[in-house]
Amino acid sequence: MTTLKPGSLLLGTTRPAELRAWYIKALAPESTGEGAIDLGGFLLVIDGRDDVEAKNSDPARTIINFHVDDFDAVKAQLDAAGVEWISVEDREKGRFGTFADPDGNYLQIIEWK
């Protein structure tokens, strides 16, 4: 049996241009062009949809995690992009920072100990 490897994530939104611009500013400032946003070999696809609400009513259901080597440097990049922090905390297993995109979806940066 083959283990499947995720290659991309699709986010449906009522505001695709705004959400795409936010993700590029916050996570991939070197990104250019149209189409999927390359996040280190994992592709993020932003799609306009009329079957979703403008804000995610259950944002903690699915959280996109980014494992980082330098929490402070990544947090500074995200602060400069104006992200909305939900929490930043030290835990037994590492540092965790949870933030939200403009549609209310949660993302996390994690620096493991």
Q: Is it the case that residue 33 has pLDDT exceeding 90?
A: no
- 96: its two tokens: 């965790």
Tens of pLDDT, residues 37-53: 999 999 999 999 999 99
DSSP three-state, residue 32 = coil
pTM of this prediction? 0.92
For the stretch 51-80, pLDDT in tens is: 999 999 999 999 999 999 999 999 999 999
**Distance linking the first and last C-alpha atoms of the chain:** 33
3-17: per-residue pLDDT in tens? Answer: 999 999 999 999 999
